[in-house]
Structure 1
Amino acid sequence: MDKVYYMRIALGVIAGAISGFIIAPEIDQGTSVGIALGIALAFYGISIGISRNMTKNMPKEVKKKAGYDGVVPFIFMNFVLMILVYTALHQADILK
């Protein structure tokens, strides 16, 4: 189960970095939130598929736990990396 946990953290980092690169300062807030949530949901869906594949031969209760194990770190890393990448890329625009 540790592999599922760390895989979700890694996918949260990747999703946050992609969101930070895609969102530009000229995009309005509603669209930015939609883009960030869409990317996060897509990567979480990918992580569910991977976790099901990783827990194929395990008992049913382990498979259930694999569906939601690592959700909080996924969300946290997604937000942190999105903010860091966005700030690093658009620092000059933010400081105006």
Structure 2
Amino acid sequence: MSARFAALNRGKGVLEADLRGAEGRSAVRELVRGADVLLHSLAPAKVAGLGLDAGTVAALRPGLVYAQASGGGPGLSTDYPSRRTPAWPHCWRRTGCRRAPPC
């Protein structure tokens, strides 16, 4: 791990939660209660179906900064042309060179 990666990610934790189950959604809601920011890249309808939409999480944590990183544009729906193309895989997976650890 490079010094740059360590510095940029200092104090961050990682959580993997299966949002399809009640236990995973409950774990995320509990984290939201103590969070300052919630950033997601899911479609609005999907987030609403999971009970993690802006209105719901605002009730859990007033003052929470709620942000959506949409790869398909505002109001991400099921009828935009590249809806099946991943928009962010290069950001989520590749933080360094192909054959090297993150830098």
Indicate the TM-score class for this superposition, using the shorter chain for normalisation. Answer: under 0.3
TM-score (norm 1): 0.27
- Where is the helix percentage greater, Structure 1 or Structure 2? 1
- Where is the strand percentage greater, Structure 1 or Structure 2? 2
More contact order relative to length (CA 8 Å, sep ≥ 6): 1
